[in-house]
Structure 1
């Protein structure tokens, strides 16, 4: 196993239970991939995902690898409201967790009669897109005839007049403009795509499944921080006798009789294996010296075509005020600014910023302080020079200015801050430019990642850059698919 990301560890635990001897070679000194933690002076911060959707993926992992509920290892807390949204015109709305009726009522009250109904109708259509794509896109290996997933748009968009005829909604921006018909609702929708690193200006309408997942299955916080989930998966691997070797960089995948036969490390040490599982499909070719995806397959693309993230960890003086919500989304004053980061690699003046304020004593030194994390989607390090003097701090200042719309007096409370850019992501995960993988989306112009199996027998790809894409739940699904393909062979068709 090359790399100790969440998908790789999920595969390792499942393979170990199936009787395989598994060794994981990780070039850094820790596990978890992008699920990291920064600690200083009694403050603790999640620098990767701050919340968990689809916890059923990890519940399944723990049941299948030990007949033990996930909740025996970590405490899951349903976040309510799922998020508060602050718009440029000063409008605010808090959306209840996993309650369509509650969301409809909240939007009607905040945005005006009819807004909630339009969003509710949108969620009904989003559910149809989810039902059409859930299994083939998330729970099964990528089909050899994957072109089926890139065929008809699965979102049942409405039609509208255009010139002399009618056109069906097939793009996310059309959903906002034609179906939601309120710039704030459109920004609400765009924000979900932006958080996943998907361009709202070009995304297919099937990206509607992203807000649907949160509304249907809830948004969850892992008490102690999401890093605790990585700790739990790592410990499960260790209990199943998975061996981890940290500080071990794989420089070559060995081949024997046309199949993967092991790895060579930077120290020239060699480890033989019956199967090799790697992360980052577009790097596997360099490690093998050959094409690992055949003609007609979904091929790997350079990772830095996707954006990255800036994360600002804030150590604050003063207690968290009563009634503060866990997550606030502060929407950009100019939504064109967010789109420019995709079009031209430009930074928005006041970016859409996620403000995470967990009410968790484990993350702060005492009750008179608070730890806050700000997150914004930005160009990768190959699109923008994050190493330029002052670049990171200047953008962190913009994020703090945006966040102050949600936390009045924020900047006066700051004791210190830690700014993490795509350069940190690149160092920790190896992703080119510090890019973050988006989830797979079925549509003619959707997002599909390379299959978990490759053209080289015995070589498999796992994690966010392979099928079914990025995000904590998707990484767990990727691990399950790889384990199934190795244990059951090419006839494996996914969990039943």
Structure 2
């Protein structure tokens, strides 16, 4: 039985802790804040409740596997999973609207044809076939196995297939997601639908590799799910599973440094001077912060994303308490697309002195009695991906973005101005306070191609006994990816360096 210290109580950390405890190890989690879940949190006021982190779940099989492997109670005995249908409603700048059915290719094709015109659905359906090919080529090495030592195999070759071009009499291969939209979808609205999947993760579709096509494919193939009571219920269930497996949690305990002995990680020292010895240390923290916890180099020179020091996009969120019921037929998720998407992307990459343009907003309106005081009210979450460099400590900036999001969200919420009782604002600074991630950045899932710029550091490090877990390590950000990283780290510790992923 090994002693294992886990830094942070995010979803990836807890997934690893539960699996390690079941394997017979003694696991202690040190979390600097007063609760578990990382970014998966809840805000409550006046009978209203809101998810402040992820609002939906893809690939629920990741957490089903976690619960099967760590106890007798399956996931569905611990939380209620609801498949969201339609998966999303999209409101485009020209006023066109389309509701995208959940996990139904025929339904999606028919809906797009009806809303956007004949052949729109066919082009999207053909795109999904190519996206599946990229998924099949990368799924195992990118998501289910530890990052290969020769990770450049994933970095140099674009897995998204080339498309024959009749006029050019040759096959051309898109290198970015924007090129996929321009060359293959040939409709600004279809392109906006495609690119919104990348933007939701803070990715610029103009630079994101074509392999980012796997992001909409994941939703299409595996469905979009909601946890009744809010996504915080999933965090609660994972935490309780850890506790039942005798994982110890210490809250309000910030790690100051990783201890080393005989050339390997040997425990941690807390900011109050407490020392916790361990045989293995698992860190669910921002890579820059992890680097500050040890003087030992963690990656080979020039290794994948070893220098994640530039500010990455964050998320600006409004929590809206509304009078009046949700209304029949309201979509759980609506994406409202702006009139000037290029201006939005330019401002996201390089915010200047001009007023920010209208952003793409995601509006979540769960049909969940647990989130509101009664049927005569509604709780709504409106969010947009934003630059982390605009000065969120300035009240004027916060007011400007609040007004922008409210304006952008009006097409998704009838009578918004008259119904609004109050709102709460959450900036990237709130995310940084809760998760420790610099600039409040939200990590994106790992993607192949792009010369490795969209991969994440391996779960192992050059310091033996120190492992990385969670969204800032392989295989990247997002709820399912966090669960996968926990499984990978547990496998590496239990089975050793020869571990190659689940079979």
Instruction: Say whether residues 1:490 and 2:497 are aligned partners.
Output: yes
The alignment's TM-score, normalised by the length of structure 1, stands at 0.97
State the match for 1:399 in structure 2: 405
Q: Does 1:276 align with 2:284?
A: no
Q: How does 1:153-192 map to 2 (within 5 A)?
A: 153-160=158-165, 167-192=172-197
- Structure 1 CA distance, aligned partners of 2:108 and 2:309? 36
**1:421 lines up with 2:427 in the alignment:** yes
Per mean C-alpha deviation after superposition, the further-off stretch among 204-213 and 281-290 is 281-290
Q: Secondary structure at the match of 1:235?
A: helix
- Aligned CA-pair RMSD: 1.5
Question: Does 2:359 match 1:343?
Answer: no
Equivalent-residue separation in structure 2 for 1:304 and 1:410 (angstroms): 37
1:191-244 deviation digits (Å, cap 9, x = unpaired) = 000011111111111000000000000000000000000000000000001000
Q: Is the 8 A contact 1:337 1:351 kept in 2?
A: no
Is 1:317 equivalent to 2:323 in the alignment? yes
Cα deviation, residue 164, structure 1 = 12
Matching residue within 189, 197, 218 for 1:213? 218
Structure 2 counterpart of 1:204, from 192, 209, 224: 209
CA distance in structure 1 between the aligned counterparts of 2:311 and 2:334, rounded to whole angstroms: 28
Which segment drifts farther, 302-311 or 247-256? 302-311
- The answer for the alignment partner of 1:455 in structure 2 is 462
Contact 2:203 2:444 in 1 (8 A): yes
Whether 1:368 aligns to 2:373 is: no
Q: Does 1:443 align with 2:441?
A: no
Give the drift of 1:186. Answer: 0.5
Q: Secondary structure at the match of 1:404?
A: helix
Structure 1 residues 163 and 60, CA, compared in 2 at 3 Å: closer, same or farther?
Answer: closer
1:98 corresponds to which residue?
Answer: 103
For residues 309 and 491 of structure 2, the distance between their equivalents in structure 1, rounded to whole angstroms, comes to: 26
State the match for 1:19 in structure 2: 24
**What CA distance in whole angstroms lies between the structure 2 residues aligned with 1:335 and 1:90?**
15
Tell me, in whole angstroms, the C-alpha distance in 2 between the residues paired with 1:303 and 1:217.
Answer: 34
Q: Is the 8 A contact 2:365 2:381 kept in 1?
A: yes
Deviating beyond 6 angstroms after TM superposition, the runs of 4 or more aligned structure 1 residues are 161-166
What aligned pairs does 1:224-235 form with structure 2 within 5 A after superposition? 224-235=229-240
Aligned equivalents of 1:197 and 1:303: distance in 2? 16
Q: CA deviation at 1:171?
A: 1.3
Gaps of 5+ in 1: none
What number of residue pairs does the alignment pair up?
494
Aligned to 2:480: 473
Match of 2:51 in 1: 46
User: Of the candidates 430, 436, 440, which is equivalent to residue 434 of structure 1?
Assistant: 440
Offset of 1:343 from its aligned partner?
Answer: 2.7
Change (3 A) 1:303 1:100: farther
Change in 2 beyond 3 A, CA 1:164/1:213: closer
Choose from 88, 111, 121 the match for 2:126: 121
Taking structure 2 as the reference length, what is the TM-score of the superposition? Answer: 0.96
Mapped to 2, the partners of 1:139 and 1:303 lie a distance apart of: 27
Distance in 1 of aligned mates of 2:22 and 2:94: 54
- What is the alpha-carbon distance in structure 2 between the residues aligned to residue 348 and residue 98 of structure 1? 35
CA distance in 2, matches of 1:404, 1:28: 35
> Where does the alignment leave 5 or more consecutive residues of structure 2 unmatched?
1-5
Contact 1:157–1:175, Cα closer than 8 Å, also in 2? no
- SS at 2:72 equivalent: coil
Which deviates more from structure 2 when the two are superposed, residues 52-61 or residues 400-409?
Answer: 400-409
Give per-residue Cα distances to partners, 1:150-201, cap 9 Å, x unaligned. Answer: 1210000315599998742221111111100000000111100001111111
Distance 1:73 1:301 in 2: 39
CA contact (8 A) 2:299 2:461 kept: yes
SS in 1 for 2:303: coil
1:259 aligns with 2:264: yes
- After superposition, give the CA deviation of every residue in 1:287-332 in whole Å (9 maximum; x if it has no partner): 1112111235324333553200011000001111111110100011
Q: Which moved more, 1:430-439 or 1:403-412?
A: 403-412
